[in-house]
Amino acid sequence: MGPRRTGRAVGESAGGVWIAGSAVHAWIGGQGRGAGYPPRDPKEFAAYVRAVVGHYRHDIRHWEIWNEPYGNGFWRGTPEEYAQLAKIAAAEVREADPKAVVLAPCIHPSSEQWVQRALAAGATGGADIFSYHGYGLLVPKGYRQVSAWAAVGRDQPLPIWNTETGVTSGTFYRRLPDKFVDAYTLWIAPIPYDQATEQSVKLFVLALAGGARRYFQYWDVYEDTLLPRLSAMTIFEYDGSLRPMGAAYAIAVGLLDGTHGRGWLELPGPTLANLLADDRRMIAVLWRTAGRRPLRLAVPLDSSLVTARSHKRVLSPFRERILREPSGGARRLSYSRAAVSGPAPGKPGATSRRRRVGSHDFL
């Protein structure tokens, strides 16, 4: 069980990168079957966790119990056996370091039956943070499921961390396949670099809107151990330069660092509005969910109400409108289907009419 290097987490202090330890070791496996199987002796596993956490207590404060136990690759026991393991690990982590923070169950929303069984058996009973991996979650459904699971058996839901998410990008420099091709290279299924750039930002924004308090990009170190591969999940190219998805991710973090998720709105278009807020701002990050025609948004003439940004095109002041307005002690996002106030197009002296079709209050 050793430290696992992770990417910069959203909203972290300037003190450095949060590190999660993963409680895994080959000799722990039961009946001599190796890593991935339930411990051959729970007491032996408990002593192991206590020793490792105690050794690293001055360097590591956050410990995640196992990696992706819902699949066959990392955990070969049942959900109930994982829950028992997580209880033992959580107790021993706190015994060795009372200030430590425990993360579990490191799941993916696609493994719904596995997660339900694990939670019913108490897998997060000793956890401080509900952890999940967000690979491929490009719609809100999976994030809503995570939020529901974080509240199972509790008066208040656990804080949520997305502890691993990334996109496998093809190289920016050329479109030829990697010279080194094996089963793993084919399995990671790279996508074109422009699509990877778009998806990396969407995954980050969706996780924030869904309530994730930390987000770990997998990964942000130069891949130099796999020959290296030209198609990889790292944000760096084979020569160490930054991939387009790395630049886009850095820009998104710079704009949204410190915000908190407030869910989503389905707007006309069809458009998905990812809602975020901090002490000063309310932010809606929008993209089309269907259709290929350019999306045109109308913003108020008063620029203090809303700032519209687009990495692809300038937004035109027409048809749809997003703005912020006071609503008692809340903040309100309103949207309508009319042009901004002022002379109606082609009709000097006339004023365009607005028809509000919805609003959402931010508490």
- pLDDT at residue number 187: 77
- pLDDT at residue number 62: 94
Q: Hey, CA dihedral for 235, 237, 242, 245, is it positive or negative?
A: negative
Q: Hey, CA dihedral for 211, 214, 217, 218, is it positive or negative?
A: negative
- pLDDT at residue number 303: 40
CA-nearest of 252, 236, 256 to 172 is: 236
Q: How far apart are CA 128 and CA 56, in angstroms?
A: 19
Which two tokens mark 25? 């070791």
Give the CA radius of gyration of the chain: 23
pLDDT averaged over consecutive 10-residue blocks of the chain (363 residues)? Answer: 35 39 58 75 92 92 93 88 96 96 96 98 98 97 98 97 92 67 74 93 97 92 63 81 92 94 87 91 89 64 41 35 43 45 42 45 47
Q: Hey, CA dihedral for 210, 21, 43, 68, is it positive or negative?
A: positive
Domain boundaries, the chain: 2-256, 260-362
Q: Where are the alpha helices (DSSP H) in 56-140?
A: 79-96, 112-120
- Residue 282, helix vs strand vs coil: strand
CA-nearest of 27, 29, 25 to 1 is: 25
* Residue 193, H or E segment: helix 193-209
Burial of 7 (0-12, 13-18, 19+ CB in 10 A): buried
- pLDDT at residue number 181: 67
What mean pLDDT value characterizes the chain?
Answer: 77
pTM of the predicted model as reported, rounded to 2 decimal places: 0.80
CATH number of 2-256: 3.20.20.80
The total number of residues shown for the chain amounts to 363
Model pLDDT for residues 24-44, shown as the tens digit of each residue? 556 566 656 667 888 888 999
